Amino acid sequence: MAKLRWYLEQTVTYKTTLILLKNLGDFFETFGNIAYRFVQTLKFLLTFQINFKQVIEQSSRFAVDSLPITLSIVAMTAIILAMQVAPELVKQGGKDYIGLLVALTMVREVGVIMSGFAIISMIGSSQASELATMRVTEQIDAMNVLKVSPFKYLFLPRVLAGCIMMPFVVVISSTLGIIAGGLTSMMAAKDVTWLCYVSSVWQGLYIRDINIMLFKSACFGGAISLISSSFGYEAKGGAKGVGIATTKAVVWSFVAIVIIDCIFAVAFYF
């Protein structure tokens, strides 16, 4: 029996199953930790224990510092989209729908998703590395010794700044994307005028789409800040630990906003 067990443990199926179970356990443990920190942060928010100076500082980082790269990514995405779509729609006699297609794509998906990716790459990684450095240099331990809650002074300002500022970033970037798509359409396809493009934008774009975009972007901003701060808070092992925490924060943030986006799509458009 022992020999049979030994052979079983050497199989690829057995080893793969162990890896999957371990990863599944790590996933639920990480998800639980993030949920716990969200509850703790929400507790301070609901009791209005807010450090407004820190919120303003984090809001400046979240929106102003990340705006150039976000605008660049969203604008280039809109240009590529219009460059591919406009000539084909003109060939099919659908030039009156170019603006509608670009606007809906920007507002419903591309503007929010690409802005989220840009924010994760620049701000999320920065937040994770910042808290990870504080953890490995024992600054967070010192806060706990002094009875100062890290959730109040580290998590809440970042999460609140993400929820508040992400919608502004998305509105500005999506607007620029629609304008860039219109200019590209005029150059890439014949018979497409600016008036024709702008008129078609409003044919299928409703206030409901904009409201959903704002709500979704607020969820994105809060999730990015919460996940990045959470992984930074868990860091250990010196400089290597800071790098691992930052990498995990970026990966989990990417996965999280895709899942949240899928939930919104099913809830509002399915």
CA dist., res. 231 & res. 250, Å (int)? 9
* Global confidence as pTM: 0.86
Sorted by where each begins, the domain ranges of the chain are 50-269
CA dist., res. 221 & res. 217, Å (int)? 6
Residue 146 has pLDDT above 80, yes or no: yes
The mean per-residue pLDDT over the stretch 85-103 comes to: 84
* Exposed/middle/buried for residue 1 (C-beta within 10 Å: 0-12, 13-18, 19+): exposed
Spatial neighbors of 198 by CB under 8 A, at least 6 apart, are: 99, 182
CA neighbor of 255 nearest in space, from 218, 215, 228: 228
Contact 269, 148 (CB under 8 A): no
Residue 14 has pLDDT above 60, yes or no: no
Question: What mean pLDDT value characterizes the chain?
Answer: 85
pLDDT > 90: what percent of the chain? 25
The mean per-residue pLDDT over the stretch 36-55 comes to: 87
Token pair for residue 194?
Answer: 């600016």
Residue 4 has pLDDT above 80, yes or no: no
The mean per-residue pLDDT over the stretch 29-53 comes to: 86
Q: What is the pLDDT of residues 209-238, one digit of tens each?
A: 899 999 999 999 999 999 999 998 888 878
